[in-house]
């Protein structure tokens, strides 16, 4: 099966029947396909509630985790999040979960495509949100099912070969992947401290909603949340903000040592190429734009290598 293909396909007709059987108030209400990602398909019901259904087995535990944990943390965060208000099971004997929440205001930043000046309105609210998220007590969440990082998200051994394959896909499709970004990625494998916090785990432009004023209005898609290094979430600063905003972001977030900041950039490079690969393969314009823009922002922040006297001359 190709990497981006779904194991199970669910249609709007299926969703109408499933949701209507669990929640009679939604019977005979309009259902439209809303969005589709690697792990879930989303449907808008009655123009008000977004229901998400897994597309593959690995997403089942992720959505189950959202149902259990997000209602606990939502009241403690400075931005609205996609905490499920409705849930149930489907897919026959497999009993996969589905979950729904009142749709949050705003549009994904990947769809809005803000220019660099507009990104200044994103930096501080995003930093404040992550500061509060990473300060939450993980002990009760761990007891309720919050796992550690089970996917080795900072393993150079695993991710370096994947980056090479995604670079090939991007360049074959005509996209620029700056050589300086790849050199930096290979020369700076992540070095992490022991700090472990609650993390979103997949924070990038498609999962950050922007309101009409251009400021963050919500954070969605929490299936990858886990107990891990804050660097995984801090990567969003590298993929969404130009380098002139990095200092303000770090000041608003709180102390971040350079090793963690560099690990965040390393992960951001992987995220950008993953998004670009998905956008190319699945024909998702917003993801192609996200990946290309993120690579541009990252490249603009990487210091140029020093040239010693006499080097680099013809």
User: Tokens for 242?
Assistant: 């130009």
**Would you identify the CATH topology of the domain 107-301?**
Transferase(Phosphotransferase); domain 1 (1.10.510)
Which residue is associated with the tokens 């943390």?
Answer: 73
Task: Label residue 34 by pLDDT band (50, 70, 90).
Answer: very high
Q: Is 4 helix (H, G, I), strand (E, B) or coil?
A: coil
Q: What is the pLDDT of residues 271-302, one digit of tens each?
A: 999 999 999 999 999 999 999 999 999 999 99
Task: Label residue 310 by pLDDT band (50, 70, 90).
Answer: low
Write down the CATH superfamily of domain 12-102. Phosphorylase Kinase; domain 1 (3.30.200.20)
Would you kindly state where each structural domain of the chain is located, as residue ranges?
Answer: 12-102, 107-301
Q: Where are the alpha helices (DSSP H) in the chain?
A: 12-22, 58-73, 109-112, 120-134, 139-143, 156-172, 179-187, 231-240, 246-253, 258-281, 285-301
pTM for this structure?
A: 0.92
Rounded-to-integer distance, Cα 221 and Cα 206, Å = 9
Task: Label residue 312 by pLDDT band (50, 70, 90).
Answer: very low
Tell which residue, 195, 184, 180, 176, has the closest CA to residue 160.
Answer: 184
Tell which residue, 160, 175, 174, has the closest CA to residue 267.
Answer: 160
């Amino acid at each position: 099966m190709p990497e981006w293909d779904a194991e199970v396909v669910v249609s709007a007709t299926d969703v109408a029947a499933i949701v209507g059987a669990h929640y009679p108030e939604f019977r005979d209400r309009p259902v439209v396909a809303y969005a589709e990602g690697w792990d879930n398909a989303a449907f808008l019901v009655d123009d008000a509630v977004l229901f998400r259904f897994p597309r593959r087995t690995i997403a089942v535990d992720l959505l189950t985790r959202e149902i259990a944990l997000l209602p606990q943390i939502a009241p403690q965060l400075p931005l609205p999040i996609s905490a499920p208000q409705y849930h149930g099971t489907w897919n026959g004997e497999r009993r996969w979960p589905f979950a729904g929440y009142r749709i949050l205001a705003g549009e994904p930043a990947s769809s809005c495509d803000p220019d660099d000046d507009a990104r200044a309105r994103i930096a501080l609210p995003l930093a404040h949100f992550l500061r509060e998220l990473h300060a939450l007590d993980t002990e009760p969440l761990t007891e309720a099912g919050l796992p550690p990082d089970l996917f080795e998200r900072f393993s150079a051994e695993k991710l370096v070969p994947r980056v090479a394959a995604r670079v090939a896909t991007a360049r074959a499709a005509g996209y620029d992947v700056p050589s300086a970004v790849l050199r930096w990625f290979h020369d700076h494998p992540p070095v992490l401290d022991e700090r472990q916090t609650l993390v979103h785990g997949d924070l990038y432009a498609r999962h950050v909603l922007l309101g009409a004023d251009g400021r963050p209005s919500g954070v969605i898609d929490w299936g990858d949340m886990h107990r891990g290094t804050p660097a995984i979430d801090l990567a969003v600063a590298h993929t969404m903000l130009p380098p002139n905003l990095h200092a303000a972001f770090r000041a608003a977030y709180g102390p971040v040592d350079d090793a963690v900041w560099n690990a965040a950039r390393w992960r951001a490079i992987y995220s950008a190429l993953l998004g670009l690969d998905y956008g190319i393969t699945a024909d998702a314009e917003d993801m192609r734009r996200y990946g290309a823009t993120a690579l541009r922002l990252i490249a603009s922040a990487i210091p140029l290598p020093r040239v010693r006297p006499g080097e680099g001359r013809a």
